[in-house]
Structure 1
Amino acid sequence: MKGMKADIKKPKHMKQFILKIFTSILVLSSGMYVQAQQPNQVFKAAGSPVNPKVTVTWNRYYDHAGISEICKKIAAAYPDLAKLQSIGKSYEGRDLWCLTITDFKKGNADTKPGMYIDGNIHSNEIQGAEFALYTAWYLTESFGDTKFIQELLEDKVFYIVPTINPDARDSYMHKPNTGSSPRSGVIPVDNDGDGLVNEDSYDDINKDGHITMMRRKNPNGRWKVDPKDPRNMIQVGPDEKGDYELLGIEGIDNDGDGRVNEDGYTFEYDPNRDWGWGWQPNYIQNGAYKYPFSLPENRAVMEFVMKHPNIAAAQSFHNAGGMILRGPGGQEDVGTYNAQDIAVYDAIAKKGEELIPGYKYLVVYKDLYSAYGGELDWFYAGRGIYTYSNELWTPFLMYMRDATRDPFDNASFSFDRYLLFQDAFVPWAEYDHPQYGKIEVGGMKKNFGRAHPGFLLESDAHRNMAFSIYHGFHTPKLEVFEITEKDLGDGLKEVTAVITNSRLMPTHSSQDVKNKIERPDYITLTTSGKIISGMVVENRDLNLSTEQEQNPATIEVANIPGLGSVTVKWIVQGGGKYTVSVDSKKGGTVSASK
C-alpha cells in the first residue's frame, strides 16, 4: 500500500494508470480496437469471405514469424478443416509449416486425391508464400457458405507449405538486399578466404534502409538522365556522349580485394537445382549444391511427398514474368512427357491463361532455358505428379496491357509515379564514397520490380489460387458407375463393374505407368459366394478380357484414364449381394453395392 500511495503522488504514473484503464474500457466495451466493423455493417462482395474468423491483410508481406502466426490462427479457427504440422527444419532451425486443408469430417484425408502447393524456394521471390497461404485461408474461410468449396474439400486434400526457404526469406526482408538477390539460402560462405563469412555482400552505405544503385558524373559516360523522367537512366547511342557512368549496386569493398558486394554471392547455390532428377554438379548446372537433396529444406519436402502417395498434382510459386511453366527443364527429358500427359498439362494450363490475365503457358527448356535438378522435374518425372511452376508478377498488371518486362523502363516509372506516388523509388542523392569519391545513390527499392505492389497482391493471389483449385479439382474422381449380374447357369454368375473417372487426370500419369512409380489400382469384389475368376475387360462388346490368375477377388488395374473408365468382371459361384470397392493411391477410395 505504501508503494501504491507513493506512485499516486507522482502525476506521470497517475496518467499512465488512467490511460491503461481507459484503453481497457474501450477494448472491452465497443470492440473498436478488436474489430473494425460489426457483422451487420458489411455487405458481402461476391467471391470473398465476408466475416473471416482469421483476419489477414493481403496487401503486404509477412516474415517467417508472421507466416507462422497466420498458419496457427487458421488451424485454431478451423480444426475440422485445417491441421498444422512442421514437416522439417530449415538450415537455421525454422519450422517448415504445412497446412493440411480438407473436410476432416468426410473421409480419410490420407486417401483423398491430394494437391501439394509451396512457394518462396528462392528467397527474393517472396509473394509465393502469400499466394500459397492465401489459398489455405480462402478455402477455410469460404467453406461455410460456398457449396463448391464444401464439395471440393469433401473429395480432395490440399497440402500447403507457404515457404520452403524461410531462413533466406527473413534474410531478404530484414537485411540489406536488392529486389533480385539473394536467390539462395543462408549457408555461410567465405568466398575470398579472409576468414570472414558473408561480410562483403550488400552495404547500405547511406543508411537509408535500401540497397539501390550508384552513379557518378562523367562527361564521357555511357548513360544520361531520361528527359521523360529524371529518376530514370538511359543508355546513350554510339555517337552520343553521356553524363554519367553507372557503378553498380550500392556497396563498399570492405575486404580490399578490389571487388564490391562479392563475398557471399560469388557462389550462390540455388535450391531449385538441388532436386533428385536430372541433377548436375555446379560446373555443369550453376547453382547446384553438394548432391541431390543436400539442402535440409528440399529433403524435408521430398520426404513429405514420399510419405503421401495420394499427391496427384502440385504447384510451386516463383517470380517473376507472368508464366505458367511445365517441364522438362532439360531437352534430354523431352521423352518423359508423352502425348497423354501433355494433353492433361495443356488443358489445365490453357484454362490458367484465362484465369490469370497476362500469364503465358510455357515449357522451361523450350521457351526459357535449360535447368537441371529442378523441383518441377522431380515432382513429375520422379514421382509422376502433374506439376506447374508459376512465375508471379508481370508488368502487364500495371496497366492491363502488354509492356516491357524491364523494371527500369518508363512504364515502371510511370506506374510508380501515378499509382504508387513514388513510394517505390529512392531519389538520387549525393554521397562521398570511400573508393569512388563523390557519387549519387538512388533507384528502385527492393519491394518493386519483382514483388507485387500491395493493391495488386491480393487480386493476383486470388487468380493464382483459382488456378490451383482448378488444378486440384481435376485430380481423379472415381465412381463405381455400374454393377451388373448375368446368370451363366450351374450356379455361376458373371458380375461386371464399370469404374469411371470424371476428371482430367488419370489415376497414374504415363510417367508413373512407365516407371511403375506407384502400385496399380485395386478393384475388389466382396460377396458371400466363391469368386472363381477375375478379369479386366478390354472390349465389352466383343467380350475380350484378360484374366488375372492370382487373387481374382482383387483385380489390379494399371490405370483409370481421365474422363474415361475401366471395366472388370468376375465369375462367382453362389452368393448374392455384391460390393465393389476401388482403392487407388492417387484416385482415392470408393465403393458401391448391389
Structure 2
Amino acid sequence: MSTPLTASLLGLALTAAVCSSGLAQQRDYQSYDQLTARLKHLTNKYSKLSSLTTIGKTATGKEVWLLTLGRDNAVNKPAIVIAAGVEGTQLATTELSMQMTEQMLEAAMIQDSVRELLQKKTFYIFPNLTPDASEQYHEALRWERAANAQPTDDDRDGRMFEDAFEDLNKDGQITMMRVKSPNGLYRPSLEDPRVMVKADTTKGEKGGYLLLTEGNDNDKDGKWNEDAEGGVVFNRNFSYDFPYFQVGAGEHPISERETKAFADFMFEAKNVYAVFVFGPANTLSFSTPLSAAKTAAENLTGPLPKEASLQEKVSGLYNQTTQLQNPPRVAPSPGDVVQWAYFHYGRFSYSTPGWWVPKVAASLDSAGAEASFSSEENQEDLNFLRWARANDIPGVFVNWQPMAHPDFPGELVEVGGLAPYVKQTPPLRFLAPVAEKHFQFFSAYAKWMPTLKIEKVQTEKVAGGHTRITATVSNVGALPTHSEIGDQSKWVQKIRASLKLQEGHTLISGNLVQPTHALAPGQKAQFSWVVEGKGYITLTVGSPAVGQQTKEVYLY
C-alpha cells in the first residue's frame, strides 16, 4: 500500500519527467556558443556573400555579432538593418533572423534575382543583441531574464541580488506561486482551471488567490523576487522617451555596452536606409495613425505626415507578403530601439514580433455559441494552451503543486503555471515557413527602395565663354530617398549633387555641392552651375543610403 508520502514523491517524479520531456523539446534553441559556431560556418560557406564582425562585448565577454550580407563593397551600398534578439525572452526572433539569412544565402546561389539583390543592397543583421540575457534559457535554472549582466540595484536599497528566485519545487525552472487568500484578486479560469485570471468585481466575482513569482521574500519587504540577478534591458535603454528611474532602464540612456555598441555602429553606418526590429512591438502589421497633436508638439511623439501615409503602404506590403493572421496589437514602449531609430536616428523604422501564437477558438457551448468564459482576462495564456494542445506540444505547463512556504505558514501555497519562455519559443518547425515569408517581404521592400536617375543634363554657352550646366534628377523607386524626419536630422546624409572639377576649371556660379530635401517616388530635383573651362567634368548625385549616380559632362 502506498503512503501519502510515497504518492507525493511519485507525483513529483512524474511531473519532473513530463517537464523534462517538454524542456528537451524546447531546448532546440541555440546557446551563445552554438549560435557563434553557426554564424562562423555560414560566413565560411558563403564567404563571397557574407561576413561576420563584432560591434562589441557584453559584461561577460560575449561578442555582439553583426552579420553583413552583400557583394562587392557592401559597406558603400544602401543598407537595411535587421535587429533581432532585442528582448532576452524572445529567442524565436534570433532563430527567425538566422533561418531567413540562411534561406537568402542559399537562394542567392541559384536565383539571379536574389544574387542581384545582394549585388545592389546590403543587409546588416544582428541575430542577438542581448546574449547575456538570452543565455538564461540554457542555464540549469531557467527563468525569463530580460536584463543583461551589468549588476544593478533594482529596488534601490543599497544591496544587489538579495531577493532572487528560488526553485521551490526543484524542477529547474521558475514559474508562479498561488496563495489561497481572502484578499486575493485572482481565481481559476472557468475555461481552464490551471490558468489564473483576475476576478471581475463589476460582475460580483471574488478572487481568493494571490499570484506571485516562485521564490521567497528574502529581504522581508513584502515583495517577492524584486531584485533578482540581472541588470539593464537593451530594449529599455535608448534615448527616445527614456523611462528614467524605472526597473531595467539603466542609470541613463545608452548606458550599456550593448546599446552603445549598437548606436555607435548605426551612427557610423551612413548607408542605412531603414531599420527593422524583430521585437515585441508591432508597427508592421498595423500602421501608426497620424496625430496632429503628436506632430505639433515641440518634441515629436508621432510620425510626421508623410511617414504616416508611408507606413500604411509598408504595412500593406508586409501583410500581403507574409499573410500572417491575427497579429497582436503591441505599441512601442519607452526607451525601445524602434522609436529611437526613427525619432533620434532619423531612419524609417518598423517592428514586428515575427512570430506569434496563432489564434485558436475557445470551446462552444451546447447551443453552438462561444462559451461565456471567452470574455475572461488572460486570454493570451488561455489561447496559448489551446494552441499547444492542438499541436501536441508537451511540457508547457507545470501543474500546481502544494508546497510549505516560510512566508505563508499554515496557508495553502501552490507552485506551478506556464513554463518559462514557452509562449515565445515554439518548436523550430513552426518558424521555417514564417522565415521564408519574411525573406520575401525584405526582398520586396529592398526592390521598393529609392533609385536615383540622372534624367537630363543640359549645357549651354553663356556670357564670358562659360558653360551653364543644368541637371534634372528623379527618384524612380517606390519609396522616398529618406525620411521626412531625416530632413531635420544632421545624422541623415541628404541627396547631394556635386561636380568634380579638373585642372583649369573654375566654378563661377552655384555651390560645388548642392543638397536637396527628400525626394518622393517620381519626384524630381534640379541643380545648376556655371563653370569656366573646357573638357570633361564629373557630375555625381546621390547619398550613402540611396546610392550614387555619375555622368560625364562636356564643357564648351
- Seen in structure 2, the aligned counterparts of structure 1 residues 219 and 274 have a Cα distance that, compared at 3 Å, is closer
- Seen in structure 2, the aligned counterparts of structure 1 residues 305 and 408 have a Cα distance that, compared at 3 Å, is closer
Equivalent residues in 2 for 1:398-437, closer than 5 Å = 406=378, 409-436=381-408
Specify the alignment match of 1:394 in structure 2: 356
Equivalent residues in 2 for 1:284-299, closer than 5 Å = 287-299=248-260
Specify the alignment match of 1:373 in structure 2: 335
The Cα of 1:415 is off from its aligned counterpart by 1.9
The Cα of 1:117 is off from its aligned counterpart by 1.4
On the 8 A contact 1:482/1:498 being kept in 2, the answer is: yes
* C-alpha distance in 1 between matches for 2:406 and 2:243: 41
- Whether 1:358 aligns to 2:325 is yes
Aligned residue for 1:100, secondary structure, equals strand
Gaps of 5+ in 1: 1-56, 535-546
Q: 2:476 aligns with which of 502, 509, 516?
A: 502
Specify the alignment match of 1:319 in structure 2: 280
* C-alpha distance in 1 between matches for 2:331 and 2:493: 35
On the 8 A contact 1:253/1:259 being kept in 2, the answer is: yes
- Seen in structure 2, the aligned counterparts of structure 1 residues 502 and 441 have a Cα distance that, compared at 3 Å, is same
Task: Read off the aligned partner of 1:260 and give its amino acid letter.
Answer: W
Specify the alignment match of 2:134 in structure 1: 169
- Whether 1:90 aligns to 2:55 is no
Specify the alignment match of 1:210 in structure 2: 173
Specify the alignment match of 2:84 in structure 1: 119
The Cα of 1:160 is off from its aligned counterpart by 0.9
Q: TM-score, normalised by structure 1?
A: 0.73
Question: Comparing 224-233 with 272-281, which one deviates more in the overlay?
Answer: 224-233
* C-alpha distance in 2 between matches for 1:116 and 1:200: 38
- Whether 1:66 aligns to 2:25 is no
Aligned residue for 2:471, secondary structure, equals strand
Specify the alignment match of 1:309 in structure 2: 270
The Cα of 1:533 is off from its aligned counterpart by 6.1
- Seen in structure 2, the aligned counterparts of structure 1 residues 361 and 232 have a Cα distance that, compared at 3 Å, is closer
Residue-by-residue CA offset, 1:220-256 (whole Å, 9 max, x unaligned): 9876655654544556676989896354232233455
- Whether 1:385 aligns to 2:353 is no
Gaps of 5+ in 2: 1-24, 363-369
Task: Read off the aligned partner of 1:290 and give its amino acid letter.
Answer: E
Specify the alignment match of 1:562 in structure 2: 521
Specify the alignment match of 1:346 in structure 2: 312
Task: Read off the aligned partner of 2:487 and give its amino acid letter.
Answer: V
On the 8 A contact 1:313/1:471 being kept in 2, the answer is: no
Aligned residue for 1:319, secondary structure, equals coil
Residue-by-residue CA offset, 1:444-469 (whole Å, 9 max, x unaligned): 21232233343322233333343344
- Whether 1:245 aligns to 2:232 is no
The Cα of 1:411 is off from its aligned counterpart by 3.1
Specify the alignment match of 2:150 in structure 1: 187
Specify the alignment match of 1:41 in structure 2: none
On the 8 A contact 1:322/1:360 being kept in 2, the answer is: no
On the 8 A contact 2:154/2:248 being kept in 1, the answer is: no
* C-alpha distance in 2 between matches for 1:314 and 1:184: 23
- Seen in structure 2, the aligned counterparts of structure 1 residues 324 and 201 have a Cα distance that, compared at 3 Å, is farther
Specify the alignment match of 2:436 in structure 1: 462
Task: Read off the aligned partner of 1:248 and give its amino acid letter.
Answer: L
Please identify the structure whose Cα radius of gyration is greater: 1
Task: Read off the aligned partner of 1:349 and give its amino acid letter.
Answer: S
Question: Comparing 391-400 with 93-102, which one deviates more in the overlay?
Answer: 391-400
On the 8 A contact 2:465/2:532 being kept in 1, the answer is: yes
Residue-by-residue CA offset, 1:193-214 (whole Å, 9 max, x unaligned): 9987425322221222232233
* C-alpha distance in 2 between matches for 1:276 and 1:86: 23
Equivalent residues in 2 for 1:480-499, closer than 5 Å = 480-485=454-459, 494-499=468-473
On the 8 A contact 2:183/2:210 being kept in 1, the answer is: no
Specify the alignment match of 1:198 in structure 2: 161
- Whether 1:446 aligns to 2:420 is yes
- Seen in structure 2, the aligned counterparts of structure 1 residues 184 and 341 have a Cα distance that, compared at 3 Å, is same
The Cα of 1:511 is off from its aligned counterpart by 1.7
On the 8 A contact 1:98/1:160 being kept in 2, the answer is: yes
Specify the alignment match of 1:8 in structure 2: none
- Seen in structure 2, the aligned counterparts of structure 1 residues 65 and 99 have a Cα distance that, compared at 3 Å, is same
The Cα of 1:140 is off from its aligned counterpart by 1.5
Task: Read off the aligned partner of 1:87 and give its amino acid letter.
Answer: I
On the 8 A contact 2:163/2:224 being kept in 1, the answer is: yes
Aligned residue for 2:224, secondary structure, equals coil
Q: Percent identity?
A: 25
* C-alpha distance in 1 between matches for 2:398 and 2:457: 71
Q: Which has a greater percent of strand?
A: 1
The Cα of 1:399 is off from its aligned counterpart by 7.1
Residue-by-residue CA offset, 1:32-81 (whole Å, 9 max, x unaligned): xxxxxxxxxxxxxxxxxxxxxxxxx9994222112211111111111111
- Seen in structure 2, the aligned counterparts of structure 1 residues 515 and 228 have a Cα distance that, compared at 3 Å, is closer
Task: Read off the aligned partner of 1:261 and give its amino acid letter.
Answer: N
Aligned residue for 2:432, secondary structure, equals helix
- Whether 1:102 aligns to 2:70 is yes
The Cα of 1:175 is off from its aligned counterpart by 5.3
Q: CA RMSD in A?
A: 4.0
* C-alpha distance in 2 between matches for 1:58 and 1:472: 34
On the 8 A contact 1:132/1:465 being kept in 2, the answer is: no
* C-alpha distance in 1 between matches for 2:437 and 2:304: 29
- Whether 1:139 aligns to 2:107 is no
* C-alpha distance in 1 between matches for 2:422 and 2:475: 45
